[in-house]
């Protein structure tokens, strides 16, 4: 019931539209003085609209680097990131940030909340930037959905790690993205809350074709994905299929 309401809410103003994500021969080389770290090499991946892909790999394998490139938060050393036909590596910073704000939701590995704003204000912020109507009510409903109805006016420092992560999820969903990127989304959540969050995202994925690319170490979360992709030595490998 809650999930159905949530979907109604998210689809009220704007229909989700589909995105194909195409990563072509991505390289990311970090240079610090003489030291070069090749975080990604020849990384290629195609994600169909509405797919749910789990990215796994050991610590330092390049998972966060990959999400940063998909979200346009960092530029590859070579290669392309094409979302719905647009190569975001060729956009200027302004157009890339508008594209990101309106099309992509990102939940970071370390939460990215603004410390002096309440949970409610943090969720309202991207809606206000995009000039959406009624941000306050929509933000309150999103926070209710992630189980934080009683925490609307708490600042990040007054919330637990798991609560902050749930606020970050509400922030990421605020502008009804068609592509959601999440880095260790459920890492700080107990298994019951993690299940609830995954149920919500699973429902948005199934009903509205929200494309999900999720980095996780959690086998139960990864098993929910349509496909699992592992990063090792900077390259990407398809793992065994989870459910179809
Ligand atoms: N800004 C940076 N400058 C230099 N090296 C970096 C930078 N960011 C990441 N790296 C290096 O690139 C590699 C990939 O890092 P990344 O953060 O993508 O790993 P990860 O798979 O997300 O790891 P974890 O599971 O620990 O979060 C690591 O060797 C890391 O040390
Ligand atoms: Mg990481």
Q: Is the CB of 40 under 6 A from ligand 1?
A: no
Beta strands in the chain (DSSP E): 21-32, 35-47, 52-56, 78-83, 86-87, 104-107, 179-183, 211-215, 227-232, 235-238
Give the ligand 1 atom nearest the CA of 62. Answer: 18
pLDDT on residue 17 = 54
Compute, in angstroms, the gap from residue 59 CA to the centroid of ligand 2. Answer: 7
Mean pLDDT across the stretch 179-199?
83
Would you state the pLDDT for residue 138?
94
What are the tens digits of pLDDT across the range 63-115? Answer: 999 999 999 999 999 999 999 888 999 999 999 998 888 889 998 877 789 99
Q: Ligand 1 center to residue 60 CA distance, Å?
A: 5
Confidence check: pLDDT of 12 > 50: no
Q: What is the per-residue pLDDT for 96?
A: 92
* pLDDT classification of 240: cutoffs 50, 70, 90: low
Mean pLDDT of 30-40: 93
Rounded to two decimals, the pTM is: 0.86
What's residue 145's pLDDT?
83
User: Which atom of ligand 1 is found nearest the CA of 40?
Assistant: 14
- Please tell me which residue, 8 or 86, carries the higher pLDDT value: 86
- What would the mean pLDDT of 31-44 be, rounded to a whole number? 93
User: pLDDT tens digit string along 136-182?
Assistant: 999 999 999 888 999 999 999 999 888 888 899 899 999 989 899 99
Please tell me the residue having the least CA distance from ligand 1 atom 14.
Answer: 62
Question: Residue with the nearest Cα to atom 17 of ligand 1?
Answer: 64
Split at pLDDT 50, 70, 90, the class of 1 is very low
Instruction: Decide if pLDDT at 11 tops 50.
Output: no
Task: Please identify, by atom number, the ligand 1 atom nearest to the C-alpha of residue 67.
Answer: 18
- In short, whether 133's Cβ falls inside 6 Å of ligand 1 is no
Q: What is the rounded (10 degree) CA torsion for 162, 17, 94, 39?
A: 60
> Which burial class, exposed, middle or buried, applies to 190 when counting CB atoms under 10 A from its CB (0-12, 13-18, 19+)?
exposed
Band (pLDDT 50/70/90 cuts) for residue 209 is confident
35 lines ligand 1 (CB under 6 A): no
Lowest mean pLDDT among 72-76, 134-138, 226-230, 232-236: 232-236
Give the residue, by CA position, lying nearest to ligand 1 atom 9.
65
Contacts of 128 (CB under 8 A, 6+ apart): 135
Strand partners for 80: 24
Q: Which residue's CA is the closest to the ligand 1 atom numbered 2? A: 30
Q: Does the pLDDT at position 4 exceed 50?
A: no
Burial of 142 by CB count in 10 Å (0-12 exposed, 13-18 middle, 19+ buried)? buried
Using the mean position of ligand 1's atoms as its centre, give its distance from the Cα of residue 132 in Å. Answer: 35
Write down how long the chain is.
244
Which residue lies with its CA nearest to atom 16 of ligand 1?
62
Q: What is the pLDDT of residue 124?
A: 97
pLDDT in tens, 211-223: 999 999 888 889 9
Reply yes or no on whether the pLDDT at 126 is more than 50: yes
Which domains, ranges and CATH numbers included, belong to the chain?
Answer: 2-16+50-76+98-238 (3.40.50.300)
């Amino acid at each position: 019931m809650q999930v159905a309401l949530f979907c109604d809410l998210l689809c009220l103003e704007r229909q989700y539209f589909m995105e194909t994500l195409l990563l072509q021969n991505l390289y990311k080389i970090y240079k610090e003085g003489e030291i070069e770290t090749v975080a990604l090499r020849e990384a290629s991946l195609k994600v169909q609209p509405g797919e749910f892909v789990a990215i796994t790999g050991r610590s330092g394998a390049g998972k966060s680097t990959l999400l940063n490139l998909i979200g346009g938060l960092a530029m590859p050393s070579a290669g392309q990131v094409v979302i719905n036909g647009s190569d975001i590596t060729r956009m200027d910073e302004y157009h890339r940030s508008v594209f990101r704000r309106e099309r992509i939701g990102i939940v970071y590995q370390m939460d990215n909340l603004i410390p002096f704003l309440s949970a409610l204000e943090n969720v309202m912020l991207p809606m206000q930037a995009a000039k959406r109507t009624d941000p306050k009510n929509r933000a309150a409903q999103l926070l209710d959905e992630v189980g934080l109805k009683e925490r609307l006016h708490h600042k990040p420092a007054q919330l637990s790690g798991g609560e902050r992560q749930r606020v970050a999820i509400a922030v990421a969903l605020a502008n009804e993205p068609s592509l959601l990127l999440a880095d260790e989304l459920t890492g700080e959540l107990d298994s019951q809350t993690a299940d609830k969050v995954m149920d919500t995202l699973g429902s948005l994925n199934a009903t509205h074709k929200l494309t999900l690319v999720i980095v996780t170490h959690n086998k139960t979360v990864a098993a929910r994905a349509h496909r699992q992709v592992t990063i090792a030595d900077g390259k990407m490998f398809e793992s065994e299929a989870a459910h179809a």
